[in-house]
Amino acid sequence: MSIKRLTLFGGDPEFSRTLHVGTPNIGDTKRFLTRVENLLNRRVLTNRGPLVRELESRMTELLSVKHCVTMSNGTAALEIATRALNFKGNAIVPALTFVATAHALEWQRVRPIFADIMPTTHHLDPRWIRRLATSLTSGVIPVNLWGRTVDIDAVVAEATMRDLAVVFDSSHAFGCTYKGKPVGGFGDAEIFSFHATKFVNTFEGGAVTTNDDALAERIRLMQNFGFADRDEVIHVGINGKMNEVQAAMGLTSVEAMKGFISHNHENYCAYLEGLRYLDGINLIEYDAAERNNYQYIVIEVDDVVTGLHRDQLMQVLHTEGVDARRYFYPGCHRMEPYRSRPKPNGQDLKLTDEMLARVLTLPTGTAVTTGDIRRVVALMQRIHERRNDISRKLAKNDRTTRLTNSRR
């Protein structure tokens, strides 16, 4: 096919409607609107109304966990869970995560200490807990990334030996399993995000799950100003509550989640089949023995093999209407205020940096069809076939831009 078909060379974009990573799944609109109409008629909009209680009950069943406390968002869930567990001093987190994982600690004046990842996965290397833990370390926040889980047993073992609390950031892992057991009941607590881009969403929202009765009671107090009764405050707290409209969306999403997962799985299989023959493009795969939500399509780009850097591939895809994203780039450790701080023990997060230079996420979800995916794959094949011409063209464009800027 002629390279002129590419927008970079004067052609029309492949997609007139941009394909995004994380377009919201909606579910049954009529069911949602009926719930909203009913809650308006009840005039109960917040303060743990019947829809929030119903959603929490559904969550405990789905996740096989004793307690679920819904929250206004996932960041509030992480802040409250770690505060309830008396995180202080510092806590160990992977640098390969959304910056909110680190900010939730920093906001409470708990210093995040960044750990590297396993060489064969994108997850926290448990050996870094041993390397980084000091007398000032109070906890660990492993991240279950892309719906795949960290080595939970190894992380908990390392943390237990050092008497460290463990809160799993499972924002990506709702509906997934580890060794056949639902994510949600591991460690001291787990947190979930139900942001609009998650496959189950409450517009904004989150939750803390735990099997610890006393911890659940503290968390519930802390997310409602410490109120134990109408006129009785027995604990310091903030407003972290989920409202009824959020819960209405959450219940509607949960009812549709099997369909969402089925659609995501079809999209994943379409990408897997289409990309397997592109040298230097590695699609991360999911363990068929575990349940997964297949929410993320993540590729690693080997520029030595492809002849194109990940960023060059992304640039071309953007011009064609495919909004591929460099998730978590450049890493929490390279964002402020963290990058300006001295590195503990001279740490060098080499594997994290290498991974963040390769990772690219591609559009999926219910707004993306398998037909769309076949077109994305065909587009990537054309890009791959003409990679040398593309590289020269982009280099020329960069030189022109630098020259123009220097003359201003």
Q: What is the pLDDT of residues 280-303, one digit of tens each?
A: 999 999 999 999 999 999 999 999
How confident is the model at residue 2, as a pLDDT? Answer: 47
Contact call for residues 185 and 45 (beta carbons, < 8 A): no
Residues 188 and 130 both lie in one domain: yes
Q: Is 328 contained in some domain? A: yes
The sign of the dihedral angle between the CA atoms of 317, 319, 320, 326 is: positive
CB atoms within 10 A of CB 221: 20
Q: What is the largest CA-CA distance in the chain?
A: 74
Q: 181-182 and 189-193 as β-strands: parallel, antiparallel, unpaired?
A: unpaired
Closest CA to 172 of 196, 152, 199, 153: 199
How confident is the model at residue 402, as a pLDDT? Answer: 61
How confident is the model at residue 149, as a pLDDT? Answer: 97
CA 176 vs CA 47, 149, 164, 170, 303: distances in Å: 29, 8, 25, 9, 32
Q: Is 408 contained in some domain? A: no
Integer-rounded Cα radius of gyration of the chain: 23
Domain boundary among 253, 287, 321: 253
Half-sphere exposure at residue 155, Cβ-oriented, CA atoms within 13 angstroms: 27
Residues 68 and 147 both lie in one domain: yes
pLDDT in tens, 128-153: 999 999 999 999 999 999 999 999 99
Q: Is 121 contained in some domain? A: yes
Residues 87 and 183 both lie in one domain: yes
Residues 18 and 129 both lie in one domain: no
Q: Is 201 contained in some domain? A: yes
Residues 200 and 311 both lie in one domain: no
Domain boundary among 236, 253, 270: 253
Residues 117 and 198 both lie in one domain: yes
Q: Is 162 contained in some domain? A: yes
What is the count of structural domains for the chain? 2
Q: Is 378 contained in some domain? A: yes
Contact call for residues 249 and 201 (beta carbons, < 8 A): yes
Q: In what order do the strands lie in the sheet with 165-169?
A: 67-71, 206-210, 189-193, 165-169, 137-140, 90-94, 111-115
Q: Is 407 contained in some domain? A: no
Q: Is 42 contained in some domain? A: yes
Residues 206 and 139 both lie in one domain: yes
Domain boundary among 228, 253, 278: 253
DSSP 5: G
Rounded distance between C-alpha atoms, residue 382 and residue 270, angstroms: 17
How confident is the model at residue 342, as a pLDDT? Answer: 82
CATH of the domain at 84: 3.40.640.10
Closest CA to 148 of 176, 115, 127, 125: 176
Tallying the residues shown for the chain, one arrives at 408
CATH of the domain at 271: 3.90.1150.10
Burial class of residue 214 in the structure, from the number of CB atoms within 10 Å of its CB (0-12 exposed, 13-18 middle, 19+ buried): exposed
Q: Which residues are 297's β-sheet partners?
A: 362
Residue indicated by tokens 């078909």: 5
Residues 231 and 276 both lie in one domain: no
Rounded distance between C-alpha atoms, residue 311 and residue 264, angstroms: 25
Residues 148 and 84 both lie in one domain: yes
Print pLDDT tens along the chain (408 aa).
445 578 988 889 999 999 999 899 999 999 999 999 999 999 999 999 999 999 999 999 999 999 999 999 999 999 999 999 999 999 999 999 999 999 999 999 999 999 999 988 999 999 999 999 999 999 999 999 999 999 999 999 999 999 999 999 999 999 999 999 999 999 999 999 999 999 999 999 999 999 999 999 999 999 999 999 999 999 999 999 999 999 999 999 999 999 999 999 999 999 999 999 899 999 999 999 999 999 999 999 999 999 999 999 999 999 999 999 999 999 999 999 999 988 765 568 999 999 999 999 999 999 999 999 999 999 999 998 888 889 888 888 776 666 556 555
19 three-state secondary structure = strand
Residues 204 and 63 both lie in one domain: yes
How confident is the model at residue 346, as a pLDDT? Answer: 52
Residues 205 and 176 both lie in one domain: yes
Tokens of 325: 């994203």
CA 101 vs CA 17, 121, 177, 385: distances in Å: 32, 19, 21, 39
Rounded distance between C-alpha atoms, residue 349 and residue 346, angstroms: 10
Residue 383 neighbours by CB under 8 Å, 6+ apart: 6, 308, 313, 316, 317, 390
Residues 74 and 188 both lie in one domain: yes
- The domain of 179 spans 29-253
